[in-house]
Structure 1
């Protein structure tokens, strides 16, 4: 059943309850925002003036690196320091339900019962905005709710690792001692986005070699910074190295704030988010004005080499424009360029 839209007073009441620590209201608001149900934009608009206070920490890396265990220990360490913690665990999408496949409470059960921690699994739905928009919006709700630290754990595959850099104030790349991880990280572009690197499961053989490999790879980074990127050793399963990890995260926050880089990163993040939202709305509007049949006919024409991709795109755009302005006279159909023209 699709939730009904919310009135202005209902949105105000919901956000007020969120600020007062009502976990049921918080869960309800996040569900509406994540699923883009009626009233979700009104909730986000009401939350936005209350955001900008939380420190957002991205934790990413390849599968099997122990990110969930590390995030659990990180949350516990922050709680011991009096911080409130929200966790956004980005999971693969179930092909059957569209929901999060792994589930947050399966992996982070040790945090259950702590009112200062709120965990939410999000599915990577493959929408236009993807992780960058969906996660940022959920983080805004947590921010408005007063959580001081928001931990964003990504699934560790595909484009999501790179998108997390647009969502977080500070990004940690988690690797493991096994040979080849550092090379894979470089291939995936992770070396460029990491503000901190953690070699987790450091109680295994090869941890020191992994640290050396990562530090060597950091020397090749194309973007230089005055921040000396730390490479830390942790064994999250037994809590080793987590306190030092938190200390370095807080050092990075102070470094960013002191140089004005925190504001710059947040400005760039909002700029990217604006572009993503506009692109998403333009694409949605375009798709709504173009029939599946007309699009498929153009794909067939390209497949049979009767039409170039550029000409097909022009035809599709003209069709969408006519649908948007049905009184406008049709434009002349473009002529396909010669076959030797590059498309």
Structure 2
């Protein structure tokens, strides 16, 4: 296999398809940096994707997501499944992203040739984390990974976009965590397919279970009722049960063609999310570099020009978009 300095579009695509770890690491570094070669490689490998099953794992910081993923990886490796893990850390300014603690918790699997783990930060990406995560997932998919876990912190808009590629979304909560209670109240219960309440020995675990159950009972329209599993990731307790629930959700999706429908919807959503990210980045650069556009913002801030008039002028100048009748774009 080529030396890292000698990768070409062809050798990198070939290396990814064969599952070579150095090729995967190089391709994902290029993805993370927004390198032009990454786009060519992903374009070349894309026809061979669509086989990996993506599990999104989200939840507030500190609830044990990495430990739970590590335990799940151990379980599925016992079934001889090949695995990829993408750990997304939106806040990390460091090269290669995520926190040292996360890597330590997943370190048991670093020497396993059938497991590829990568943590990612934002770095040079025009389309933000949604774009970088989508491309990294496609690389692992093309490499033949049967299961890919995508971990992200929180449940804001950017995190929802990051796990927008997931076939099954697992929300991890922890009893006694203010963030977990806020997560319940913030309406992110629309996101998950399976819910894990980690630290099952905590005195408030059963209380949280009942709280989550009562919130879920308000939504009677869903064909799939998200199961709730009490887990203890560090001891591996109920990890097998949690995986059974993920498998049941997959079977539910596959039973009547919903998996294909969900993937089509997810891919369309990812295209829009990435396009939105790029358009926003382009817009910010255009406004920063154009005194006339900056003047519009100043006028809005001084309340001399209303915000929507400023939007219309900016859209007309940057994207050449405007209504022929001169009315506001709404």
Q: What are the within-5 Å matches in structure 2 for residues 73-88 of structure 1?
A: 73-88=71-86
Work out whether 1:234 is the aligned partner of 2:228. Answer: no
1:182–1:40 CA distance, 2 compared to 1 (3 A)? closer
Q: What are the within-5 Å matches in structure 2 for residues 47-66 of structure 1?
A: 47-66=45-64
Aligned to 1:139: 137
Aligned to 1:41: 39
Any gaps of 5 or more consecutive residues in structure 2? none
SS of the aligned residue for 1:118 comes to strand
1:280–1:155 CA distance, 2 compared to 1 (3 A)? closer
Q: C-alpha separation between the residues in 2 aligned to 1:287 and 1:209? A: 46
Cα displacement (A) at 1:213: 1.2
Task: Kindly name which structure, 1 or 2, has the bigger radius of gyration based on alpha carbons.
Answer: 1
Task: Output one character per residue of 1:28-60: Cα deviation in whole Å (capped at 9) or x when no partner.
Answer: 111111211121111111121111101100111
Question: Which of the pair has the greater relative contact order for Cα pairs under 8 Å at 6+ separation?
Answer: 2
The answer (yes or no) to whether the contact 1:182–1:214 under 8 Å persists in 2 is: no
TM-score between the two structures when normalised by the length of structure 1: 0.84
Q: C-alpha separation between the residues in 1 aligned to 2:263 and 2:87? A: 21
Aligned to 1:159: 157
Q: C-alpha separation between the residues in 1 aligned to 2:53 and 2:104? A: 25
Task: Output one character per residue of 1:66-121: Cα deviation in whole Å (capped at 9) or x when no partner.
Answer: 111000001110100110110010114334x4651514523311112111111111
1:21–1:38 CA distance, 2 compared to 1 (3 A)? same
Aligned to 1:25: 23
Work out whether 1:197 is the aligned partner of 2:195. Answer: yes
Q: C-alpha separation between the residues in 1 aligned to 2:122 and 2:62? A: 18
Q: C-alpha separation between the residues in 1 aligned to 2:194 and 2:49? A: 25
SS of the aligned residue for 1:276 comes to helix
Work out whether 1:276 is the aligned partner of 2:273. Answer: yes
Q: C-alpha separation between the residues in 2 aligned to 1:257 and 1:100? A: 34
Which is further off, 303-312 or 191-200?
303-312
Task: Output one character per residue of 1:144-192: Cα deviation in whole Å (capped at 9) or x when no partner.
Answer: 0000000011122533443344120000111112265664222232211
Any gaps of 5 or more consecutive residues in structure 1? 325-333, 338-342
TM-score between the two structures when normalised by the length of structure 2: 0.87
Q: What are the within-5 Å matches in structure 2 for residues 56-135 of structure 1?
A: 56-95=54-93, 97=94, 99-103=96-100, 104-124=102-122, 129-135=127-133
Work out whether 1:246 is the aligned partner of 2:243. Answer: yes
SS of the aligned residue for 1:83 comes to coil
The answer (yes or no) to whether the contact 1:166–1:269 under 8 Å persists in 2 is: yes
Q: C-alpha separation between the residues in 2 aligned to 1:300 and 1:181? A: 37
- After TM superposition, what 4+ stretches of structure 1 lie above 6 angstroms from structure 2? 3-6
1:144–1:208 CA distance, 2 compared to 1 (3 A)? same
